[in-house]
């Protein structure tokens, strides 16, 4: 298993309140979220790569001494996560399964164990408990994603996307081809997940419910405070 953490963005919604990338926030005992995540992944013998951009030198400092491969997205202000992953495209080879995660997501080890056990070609973590509030939603039928977006109405929502997905080695080459094609068409301002959504009828996207475990993506300062409170408990 190989993992790619996407950490190039500025985090505009929270940048008015903090002066550094949100995945570098201290979640307890002086440990940045990104270092906590890397350590957790490495406990399971997962090779970790990170795509950086905004204030990248801080990531080098935060992860000093850890066996991590870095990739750089120098166009982080004018692109999105699909471009970040494109800069690491040569490392995507069909010899293993891949875990892709937004670096600003905190998740319990039980959640990691759940997705590692998935045998599907495409598995996206989702929270079936949360549909009234959240950031990005799925409508699912028999556990498969059929609609997706930030603007799904509450009746359309089945679950909230967690920000973590697993792509199996049987699908990696096709995934890579579609991603490259999208970049060549100058579609570089979208999320990397759009590659999956673009042909979900042909290649079904399976969801895996994270209940009853804890997770939180840091979009606002309240999300960060919720993580710290959970860890302190």
Rounded CA separation 162/147 (Å): 15
Tens-place pLDDT, residues 175-232:
999 999 999 999 999 999 999 999 999 999 999 999 999 999 998 889 999 999 999 9
Tens-place pLDDT, residues 73-97:
999 999 999 999 999 999 999 889 9
Contacts of 161 (CB under 8 A, 6+ apart): 124, 125, 126, 135, 136, 137, 138, 148, 193
When pLDDT is cut at 50, 70 and 90, the band that residue 13 belongs to is: low
pLDDT at 95: 87
**Among the listed residues 135, 136, 132, the one whose alpha carbon sits nearest the alpha carbon of residue 155:** 132
High-pLDDT (> 90) share of the chain, %: 88
Which class in CATH covers the domain with range 2-232?
alpha beta
pLDDT at 213: 97
When pLDDT is cut at 50, 70 and 90, the band that residue 11 belongs to is: confident
- Average pLDDT of every residue of the chain: 94
The pTM score is 0.94
Helix, strand, coil % (nearest 5) of the chain? Answer: 30, 25, 45
For residue 140, the SS3 value is strand
pLDDT at 8: 95
For the chain, the domains span 2-232
Radius of gyration of the chain (CA): 17
| Dihedral sign from CA coordinates of 135, 139, 145, 148 | negative
pLDDT at 49: 98
With 80 as the cut, is the pLDDT of residue 12 above it?
no
Widest distance between CA atoms in the chain: 48
When pLDDT is cut at 50, 70 and 90, the band that residue 131 belongs to is: confident
pLDDT at 48: 98
pLDDT at 176: 96
């Amino acid at each position: 298993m190989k993992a790619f953490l996407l950490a190039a963005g500025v985090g505009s919604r929270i940048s008015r309140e903090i002066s550094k990338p949100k995945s570098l926030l201290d979640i307890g005992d002086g440990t940045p979220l990104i270092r906590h995540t890397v350590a957790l992944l490495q406990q399971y013998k997962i090779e970790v790569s990170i795509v950086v951009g905004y204030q990248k030198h801080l990531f080098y400092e935060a992860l000093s001494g850890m066996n991590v491969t870095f990739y750089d997205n120098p166009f982080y202000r004018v692109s999105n996560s699909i471009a970040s992953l494109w800069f690491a495209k040569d490392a995507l080879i069909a010899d293993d399964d891949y875990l892709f995660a937004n670096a600003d997501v905190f998740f319990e080890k039980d959640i990691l164990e759940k997705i590692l056990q998935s045998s599907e070609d495409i598995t996206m973590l989702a929270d079936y408990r949360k549909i009234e509030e959240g950031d990005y939603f799925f409508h699912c039928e028999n556990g498969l994603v059929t609609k997706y977006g930030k603007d799904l109405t509450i009746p359309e929502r089945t679950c909230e996307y967690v920000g973590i997905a697993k792509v199996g080695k049987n699908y990696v080459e096709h995934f890579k081809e579609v991603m490259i094609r999208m970049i060549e068409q100058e579609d570089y301002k979208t999320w990397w997940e759009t590659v999956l959504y673009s042909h979900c009828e042909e290649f079904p996207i399976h969801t895996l419910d994270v209940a009853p475990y804890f997770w939180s993506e840091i979009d606002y300062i309240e999300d960060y405070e919720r993580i710290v409170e959970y860890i302190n408990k």
